[in-house]
Structure 1
């Protein structure tokens, strides 16, 4: 087949919804995308190496808040979605989206191990007429410099036999105002035909598609979005430390500044950064910039400030314990409220709560946690020794028995009145009590 005919055939299948979609990685990005593709009318296969996840999904049970079990079960029953750990089925798919993690190493360097392994799995089964789309956030150039050579090893050529594109995920777990289908989708293909195909596919799945000139530009868009947030959060975290030394409430300052109708956008401090994007993705650009001999001062400084916030919280806790309870960290029992990295979700990826627990444990503190969304701590790469530790039930007796409570995640489901009335000392890193009009001499902001 000629180049044009290959592309035209795939375009026709996409337009007629007869193309089969495959999504590799069924986490917070992949599963909502697979559900959206199924809802749009594409027969969809979700791939994951975790057999337990595959079995759960095929039984119609979702483990991601953004995809309801009823919705998933309907897709399964209608034959529009199936999950599989058999990667030989990639050959069935006309469109393959890659939504696997892109973590950092301990040295804060990009770890593309999951992307490379996935690319190799696709390459072993690649056939003419397929569109491969990388969704995982990474440094500008990854799609064409890393993914493309792996896929072309078997002799098929990008733009002639298969088509390559990048479309960054923009998920915001816990945000009910935006879902996969309502968030504008950035897309870019390698070449005109790949661009047209990726635009056509996502145009059938989401409400709005924004096409840019190249995968490298699309990769830079995603990095820019996360650098923007990381730098601004670092700024307010630094202001919090400075204003605290001056006896000024940074949250009152931010709320007042936010009344300005132009030239200002509110960001809020916390105990550190969490999630898979903001604490990680900016360092992909930092790493890549070294290739060009260029420093990334803002990004690196922002990272240093944000990484330091858990230790700042611990220092504030230590001061408050000594001043009000006459108890040292080494002999204290502390309850962390909220394990998830943000409110109203169960996602603990890169959560600063885990780092808080780690620092306190090393100081000899007995550490407990309560989170209405997390029954027990799952296994993580950095904090595997916490795996299996259960969430402590929240009661007046439990609250009064600990030396301090640290609010790390301001879940709406928490009974803040009960906490305020029962706890001896509260260190609030989220301004959770003041926002609810709850005051008390036992509440310290940090």
Structure 2
């Protein structure tokens, strides 16, 4: 247990909250029970805290209270046990915020059509908390956002009702680090970055995370550092994936296998980190986060040229995939219009059910535009929305009917798919993921 004297807090209210955290007497709230919020709520409850989850969607509230899991990174048995033992409950009634000692905001921060941050969810959450805030509460924003959000947006809302930040309540930013489907790193063991509005705020927030998580808790000087750090993480990946995608387009023109090139470069033990091309970026982080910084940079009269160029390259990949489909079909004397296409995978990455921002969606939209007849298969995605319509993908590949399709398009390399058999039996295959099980010498097999 951490000794209060060793963390050097200079405030009696902070001391009392730290003591409640260390003795597990603190009640913890989580606003937003999605891909970030529910796993966090589960981990806090598993650590011994009583947790109240808040969400405006009654369906999620009802499922949590029934012990029904709907997030891939949560173990269903854990959720059920925590609910049965009354360690975790959910509600849509935000007046219960008055009962919590610490609360995390884990709501979406989408972009609008102009690629500007839509902060409506964060702002509404902050106002709901402010209306029910009691003295001595810790508030932590976890939603990915632009540098300055915590102090410029959240702090004034919370202080509007008379409490002083850093003395009567505590405010910090700690970016979520969730990689859906990652078998090695999860909410529990991933290092956490924490930046508070004041030193007391940082210490209180860090104490809470140390009481819950196994990963290192890294304290930074202020929220803006933690906010910028999160954007740097995903901008780094966005830019390097953009480079890999540009190399893929060029290598295809030159008749070179880009994946073989990357594997060769990766043999260098220093100065190189492999990133791989694909049909485009997906998920709520990498395709979106860099645009927060691009938007904020305009306030400082700065143009983020490299970030925007990488974004343009990655956004163009679905169009490139459709172009490659046309090329492959054309070699067989077939037009895309009227061709029957089997699309393997709707989720944006392997072995998960998340299709947010999936590059498969714009690919399917383009196939519609060019008059192709497509079917999608995904064993993980129950349904998906495309151009205002709900679609239910096939759960399994019918291996006996593969030759009825003009082309099989591999967009997500789920382990459920028997790629070796698919490549052997299909008429044409276009692979955007460099599946290892397929013999690249098969004549009708093509890479992106």
Flag whether TM exceeds 0.5 (same fold).
yes
Distance apart, 1:435 and its partner CA:
5.0
Distance 1:236 1:14 in 2: 45
- 1:445 corresponds to which residue? 447
Distance 1:213 1:42 in 2: 28
Where do 1:40-59 residues align within 5 Å?
A: 40-59=47-66
Q: CA deviation at 1:390?
A: 3.3
- Give the stretch that moved more between structures: 178-187 or 58-67: 58-67
Give the Cα–Cα distance (whole angstroms) in 2 for the partners of residues 436 and 212 of structure 1. 47
Question: Any idea what the Cα deviations from partners look like across 1:267-315, whole Å, max 9, x if unmatched?
Answer: 0000000000000000000000000001101100000000000000000
| Number of aligned residue pairs | 438
Give secondary structure in 2 for the equivalent of 1:225. Answer: helix
Mapped to 2, the partners of 1:419 and 1:26 lie a distance apart of 38
What's the offset of the Cα at 1:47? Answer: 1.2
1:402 equivalenced with 2:402 (yes/no): no
Asked if 1:316 is matched to 2:324, the reply is: yes
| 8 A contact 1:187–1:212 mirrored in 2 | yes
Q: How does 1:331-342 map to 2 (within 5 A)?
A: 331-342=338-349
Q: Which residue of 1 aligns with 2:379?
A: 372
Supply the distance in 1 between the matched residues of 2:401 and 2:110 (Cα, whole angstroms): 37
Q: 2: CA distance between counterparts of 1:390 and 1:257?
A: 37
1:231 aligned to 2:239?
yes
Question: What TM-score comes out, normalization by structure 1 length?
Answer: 0.96
Which residue of the partner structure matches residue 109 of structure 1? Answer: 116
Equivalent residue in structure 2 for 1:356, among 346, 363, 367: 363
Q: Please state if 1:206 is matched with 2:213.
A: yes
Deviation per residue, 1:380-404 (Å, 9 max, x gap)? xxx3523233326411243221211
What does residue 149 of structure 2 align with? 142
Q: In structure 2, what is the Cα distance between the partners aligned to 1:313 and 1:423?
A: 18
Q: Is 1:45–1:82's contact at 8 Å kept on the other side of the alignment?
A: yes
CA contact (8 A) 2:423 2:438 kept: no
Of 197-206 and 50-59, deviating more is: 50-59
Q: Is the 8 A contact 2:342 2:408 kept in 1?
A: yes
Q: Does 1:388 align with 2:396?
A: no
Instruction: State the secondary structure of the residue aligned to 1:46.
Output: strand
* Aligned partner of 1:253 among 258, 261, 264: 261
Could you tell me which residue of structure 2 aligns to residue 182 of structure 1?
A: 189
Task: Give deviations 1:334-369, integer Å, cap 9, x for gaps.
Answer: 111110000010010100001100111111112210
Tell me the residue number matched to 1:193. Answer: 200
- Distance in 1 of aligned mates of 2:180 and 2:396: 25
Q: How do residues 56-205 of structure 1 correspond to structure 2 at under 5 angstroms? A: 56-205=63-212
How far did residue 151 of structure 1 move?
1.3
Structure 1: which 4+ aligned runs deviate by more than 6 Å?
none
Instruction: Check if 1:277 corresponds to 2:313.
Output: no
Unpaired runs of 5+ residues, structure 2, are 1-9
How far does the alpha carbon of each residue in 1:147-185 deviate from its partner, in whole angstroms, 9 at most, with x for none?
111112212221122110000001100001011111000
Hey, what does 1:412 align to over in structure 2?
A: 415
Residue of structure 1 equivalent to 2:305: 297
